[in-house]
């Protein structure tokens, strides 16, 4: 690992840490003592989908190990340049679900609000790696149209802040948005989907804790943790104050070939999540986005893995194995999604 003590993490703001992230593949590989594994194709993949890794997250990777499970999630690969049948630009039909002003309306009673295209880290399996954020996000000066749209639909009870990563926004912008959502009588719940605290725990600062603790909306945060090595003391300490102010913490992870597709890894992840006060929520089958086929685990293997997890975990620690299907009215449990194809 890159020693955390050698990094100026304690004194820098989260914005400074984000600005100091790795943006060059060669630099990250050099610091991990993996320079001999560099290939020119990595740069081509990074040009197609940007490369960015916070130094805190990189410090959790094992030096000299090209198969480190955290490194594999972010290292550009030649496989991303290969076009595989069935892997497409918009695997979830997000553009068809877009109702304008950054609002995606897929499921009854709730909508996603694309708050920003910015994210702290470029996970290579990202299902929105081709998403047209320029025309499909609720920019600050477009929040009023989005809010008016939400005001006009009394059937919406929950707003899910998405991106990019909504916690890439500063606290003042988040506060303005949340205060406006609070003024819409039929909106009762707020959900924030984020990976940012996992790769930059300092993002959970005191102003954010106070903001989320004081909102009148019932609030949950869904973090995105794929591997037990991501659950650090720093992350647990950052999330603990959120629980104290009443925020429900859930986790969703993506099943990734060669990274977390073993029973031992998944069981340890679920148990570690619970110890950290986070409830395992979803284990997602990979969304079939172009450029991510090399991460895919076939359905038979995924179902067998989930059955073995069920044998070793109590029900409340077993995440639902799901797939998102474009046009479906909810996330589909994996057996159901298989049956729909027959």
Give, in degrees to the nearest 5, the angle at Cα 200 between 199 and 206.
Answer: 145
**Confidence at residue 47, expressed as pLDDT on a 0 to 100 scale:** 95
SS3 90: coil
pLDDT tens-digit map of 140-154: 666 889 999 999 999
How many Å apart are CA 2 and CA 270, to the nearest integer?
26
Which tokens is 242 given? 């959120």
The DSSP line for 113-179 is EE--S--S---TT-TTTT--GGGSS--GGGHHHHHHHHHT-TT--EEEEESS-GGGS-HHHHHHHHH
Instruction: Please give the helix or strand (H or E) that residue 26 lies within, else none.
Output: helix 25-31
pLDDT tens-digit map of 44-98: 999 999 999 999 999 999 999 999 999 999 999 999 999 999 998 888 887 777 8
Which tokens is 189 given? 């719940």
**Confidence at residue 89, expressed as pLDDT on a 0 to 100 scale:** 85
Q: Centre a 10 Å sphere on the Cβ of residue 185 and count the other Cβ atoms it contains.
A: 8
Task: Kindly report the average pLDDT of the chain as a whole number.
Answer: 92
**Crossing angle for the helix pair 171-182 and 143-151, nearest 10 degrees?**
20
Which tokens is 98 given? 């877009």
- Regions of the chain short of the pLDDT cut 70: 1-11, 133-135, 137, 139-142, 336-342
- Least Cα distance to 165 among 4, 2, 18, 296 occurs for 18
How many Å apart are CA 96 and CA 327, to the nearest integer?
9
Which tokens is 254 given? 């993506």
- Domains of the chain are 4-81 (no CATH), 94-341 (3.20.20.70)
Contact 232, 201 (CB under 8 A): yes
**Confidence at residue 17, expressed as pLDDT on a 0 to 100 scale:** 96
Q: Which pTM was predicted?
A: 0.92
């Amino acid at each position: 690992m890159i020693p955390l003590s050698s990094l100026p993490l304690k004194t820098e703001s989260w914005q400074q840490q984000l600005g100091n992230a790795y943006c060059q593949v060669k630099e990250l590989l050099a610091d991990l003592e993996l320079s001999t594994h560099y290939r020119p194709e990595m740069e081509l993949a990074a040009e197609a989908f940007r490369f960015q890794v916070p130094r805190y997250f990189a410090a959790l990777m094992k030096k000299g190990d090209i198969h480190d499970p955290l490194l594999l999630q972010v290292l550009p690969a030649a496989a991303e340049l290969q076009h595989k049948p069935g892997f497409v630009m918009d695997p979830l039909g997000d553009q068809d679900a877009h109702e304008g002003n950054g609002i995606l309306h897929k499921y009854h009673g709730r909508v996603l609000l694309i708050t920003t295209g910015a994210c702290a880290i470029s996970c290579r399996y990202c299902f929105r790696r081709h998403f047209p954020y320029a025309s499909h996000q609720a920019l600050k000066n477009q929040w009023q149209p989005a809010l008016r749209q939400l005001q006009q639909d009394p059937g919406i009870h929950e707003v899910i802040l998405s991106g990019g990563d909504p916690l890439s926004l500063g606290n003042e912008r988040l506060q303005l948005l949340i205060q406006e959502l609070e003024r819409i009588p039929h909106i009762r719940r707020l959900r924030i989907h984020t990976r940012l605290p996992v790769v930059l725990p300092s993002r959970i600062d005191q102003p954010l804790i106070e903001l989320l603790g004081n909102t009148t909306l019932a609030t949950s945060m869904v973090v995105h943790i794929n591997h037990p090595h991501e659950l650090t003391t720093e992350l647990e300490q950052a999330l603990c104050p959120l629980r104290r102010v009443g925020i429900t913490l859930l986790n969703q992870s993506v099943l990734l070939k060669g990274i977390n597709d073993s029973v031992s890894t998944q069981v340890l992840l679920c148990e570690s999540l619970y110890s950290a006060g986070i409830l395992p929520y979803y284990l997602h089958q990979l969304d079939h986005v172009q450029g991510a086929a090399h991460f895919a685990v076939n359905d038979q293997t995924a179902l067998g893995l989930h059955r073995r997890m069920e044998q070793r975990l109590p029900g409340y620690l077993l995440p639902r194995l799901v797939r998102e299907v474009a046009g479906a009215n909810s996330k589909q449990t994996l057996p159901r999604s298989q049956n729909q194809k027959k």
